[in-house]
Copies of this chain bind each other. A is one copy, B any other.
Amino acid sequence: MTSRDAAIRWLSDEYYEQNGEQFDVLENPPSGLEFSRLVHISRPVLIKGSRIPASTLWSDEYLIDSMGSRAISIAVTPNGLADAVTRGPDGRLYFVEPHVEKMTMAEFLSTISSGSASGSSDVCYLQSQNGNLYSSNDFEEGRGSESEFEPLRRDVPSDIPWCTEALGKSPDAVNLWIGDSRSTTSIHSDPYENVYTVVRGAKYFTLLPPTEGWCLNERTYPHATYTRCPSTSRLTLVPSTGTDEIRWSSVANPHIPGVLPRGAHPIHVTVLAGQSLYLPPGWWHHVRQSGGTTIALNWWYDTEMRGMSWVTLSFLRGIGEVPPGNDSVEEDAKQSQVIITS
């Protein structure tokens, strides 16, 4: 065990002893000041009573009518795993990004309700997460940004007032997510303050604090992308060339009891329509969603870089000390239990 590992285990135990598995539940959104205090504590909070026009307006018909013939970018995978570690046809493990296809909202929503894309078993997920509704440019005077979802912007506030007030800045990105139970998001952490609001359906989060990242066995994996084969029309995992290896958790199903090592204390939070989850920077999250159509929005705000928080997160990530995911036989054997193969 390296000195960093020993220190991280100490912090991990001590953090759990001090904080337990508790998370706050607010019956109504906080004031800016109340939220600022919660940001300092930096633990997840379930916030009820979200009131966003989208929540009452966004039926399938409304979304289809509003968006018309506009082309939107949809992530397509054979298995519902966009941005996840997956075994390739060569037997090696890859970090695989989805194939992105353009389609209309009507075409996209039909894949969700019918359970298939174009008669295939492919899984579609609207998860472009590039500030697809608003990006930082929208908050700079005299600038603006293009959005594939321009007609839906009127139903989504560009910021969360209590969050903007608490942090003293505008969001860096606002995203729309639409999918069904076939799509899951593999466990990862983001360097952002995140408010995640469910508009329809439910999201099931499995959370670990930044101190328990060591339970997720991060490894480095070669990069690949799903590509649709022109002759068979089937999605194929194509290794990338000239792309850096991606550091990612080797644990695919942290929500299943017994998968995580002793020492991990996962927190399970269900976020229903009209509720928001405050997810602080560095918190690990695995996300599943309900069947039917689940619609969510998220607001990412830049994290405070001054002070101790950012430095501690860097320490806990142990940057630059991650072994390759394909090298160890023992590790591979272990991973085969937890990695979903394509």
Contact = CB atoms under 8 A, between A and B. Distances in A.
Interface of A: 2-4, 6-7, 10-11, 14-15, 18-19, 32-34, 36-37, 39-43, 165-168, 210-211, 304-312, 314-315
A168 to B, nearest CB: 6
A34 B165 CA distance: 10
A6 B3 CA distance: 7
Contacts of A10: 4, 315
A37 B166 CA distance: 7
A310 B32 contact: no
Contact of A11 (B6, B41, B43, B315): B315
Contacts of A312: 11, 308, 312
Contacts of A304: 37, 40-41
Nearest to A4: B7
B43 A306 contact: yes
Contact of A41 (B165, B166, B210, B307): B307
B168 A37 contact: yes
A14 B315 contact: yes
A15 B305 CA distance: 10
Contacts of A39: 40
A14 B39 CA distance: 22
Contacts of A168: 34, 37
A126 B317 CA distance: 47
A119 B138 CA distance: 73
B36 A40 contact: yes
A18 B19 CA distance: 27
Contacts of A315: 7, 10-11, 14
A42 B308 CA distance: 8
A227 to B, nearest CB: 40
B18 A310 contact: yes
B166 A18 contact: no
Given A36-B40, A41-B304, A42-B308, 14 more contacts: A3-B6, A4-B6, A6-B7, A7-B315, A11-B312, A14-B311, A19-B306, A19-B307, A36-B36, A36-B37, A37-B167, A39-B40, A40-B304, A43-B307
Given A36-B33, A36-B40, A14 B309 contact: no
Nearest to A34: B168
A283 B82 CA distance: 45
A123 B309 CA distance: 42
A243 to B, nearest CB: 28
A41 B311 contact: no
Nearest to A20: B306
B43 A314 contact: no
A306 B3 CA distance: 26
The residue among A19, A42, A308 with the most chain B CB atoms within 10 A of its own CB is: A308
Contacts of A314: 14
Nearest to A310: B18
A101 B229 CA distance: 90
B308 A210 contact: yes
A317 to B, nearest CB: 12
